Amino acid sequence: MMKLKMIFLLIIFSTAAFAQNDPKAKEVLDKMSAKYRNIPAFTATFTQTLENKIEDINDSFTGKITVMGNSFKADVAGQLIVNNNKTVWTYLKDANEVTINNYDAEAGEMNPSKIYDAYKEGYKYLYMAGEGTSQYHVIDLVPENKDETFYKIRLKIDKNTNLLKSWSVFDRAGNIFNYAVTDFKVLNTLTANDFVFDPSKYPNIEVLDFR
């Protein structure tokens, strides 16, 4: 009976420990967040890979991202996405068509301007000591909302620069979306106008405005 009681207590203790946020993870995440907050704007090349072992899928493509504050512009997979934190323009190059929507900050989208601050609300985080290397910290973010389509985000953070090197999103359908960042450059000359899509610059464009 005593042995079973001890096992039961260990299970409770382990569950409680996992439910709490990891202080070491928070220290690393806070440094990463502060690093990006002190950068006026940046551009980077990224590679996205979709893995699904069940469906035998392994697809990848490369794109370019520019971020300033809560605004971003992504040129990837034949489309240009421009988001100024109020409006989202999605331009399909082959179709010469742009769709315009109001940006919904409450929709929970994991856009590139939020990834380095995501841990601050709605997530538990854990430092994955066994997954890291001499160069990178590895931290898992687990959403508190169990209805999210994904169950984990794994961040890989450079120990020397505090920059996010890559991240992976694990969804409940067995998909793993991997994002790796290269050619990171700090920018100092961007303005708010750089994150507004101007249809007049595209002759014969079809505009679908759903605002």
pLDDT exceeds cutoff 80 at 2? no
Q: pLDDT averaged over the chain? A: 86
Instruction: Tell me how far apart the terminal alpha carbons of the chain are, to the nearest angstrom.
Output: 65
Q: What is the DSSP letter of 171?
A: E
Show the tokens assigned to 45: 């090349």
Q: Which pLDDT does position 112 carry in this prediction?
A: 66
Q: Which pLDDT does position 162 carry in this prediction?
A: 96
Give the 3-state secondary structure of residue 164.
strand
pLDDT in tens, 35-91: 998 999 999 999 989 999 888 888 998 999 999 988 999 998 899 999 999 999 999
> CATH code for 22-209?
2.50.20.10
Side chain identity at residue 19, one-letter code:
A
Q: What is the DSSP letter of 145?
A: -
**Domain spans of the chain, in order of start:** 22-209
* 12 pLDDT tier (thresholds 50, 70, 90): very low
To the nearest 10°, the Cα dihedral for 199, 200, 203, 205?
30
Phi first, then psi: what are they for 122, rounded to 5°? 90, 10
* 115 pLDDT tier (thresholds 50, 70, 90): confident
Cβ neighbours of residue 127 under 8 Å, at least 6 residues apart? 22, 24, 25, 28, 137, 138, 139
pLDDT in tens, 179-205: 999 899 999 999 999 999 999 999 999
Q: Which pLDDT does position 108 carry in this prediction?
A: 54
